[in-house]
Amino acid sequence: MSDVSRYIEKRMKADADFAVGFELGYANFKIGVVLRQAREAAGLTQEEVAQRLNTTKSAISRIENHADDVRLSTLKRYAEAVGANLQIRLARTA
């Protein structure tokens, strides 16, 4: 386990607010990573996805880097633009 992982684990045990904030932030980060990976797998640039969605490259960058405030309809359109379909799964929390 890395020093960062040990710090996060220790801090989450000691600070409930940190734990909640960390989990939410990490979930949003993962969404952005998944979107970027889907775009790259499709061989598309942010500019090309922006053209398909009739928006700007900076808007696509915001979606990929700050996925905490993205509408479900936008995620669906993004998925379609990169040749994918959107699937949502609910999982029990530990």
Mean pLDDT, the chain, rounded, equals 85
CB 46 within 8 A of CB 39: yes
CB 76 within 8 A of CB 86: yes
Prediction pTM value: 0.69
For residue 89, the model assigns a pLDDT of 84
CA proximity to 22, closest of 36, 8, 35, 34: 8
**What Cα–Cα distance (Å) separates residue 44 from each residue in 4, 15, 26, 68, 81?**
33, 41, 25, 23, 9
Q: Which domains does the chain have, with CATH numbers?
A: 3-81 (1.10.260.40)
User: Is 70 exceeded by the pLDDT of residue 26?
Assistant: no
For residue 25, the model assigns a pLDDT of 65
> How confident is the model over 1-19, as pLDDT tens digits?
677 677 677 877 887 876 7
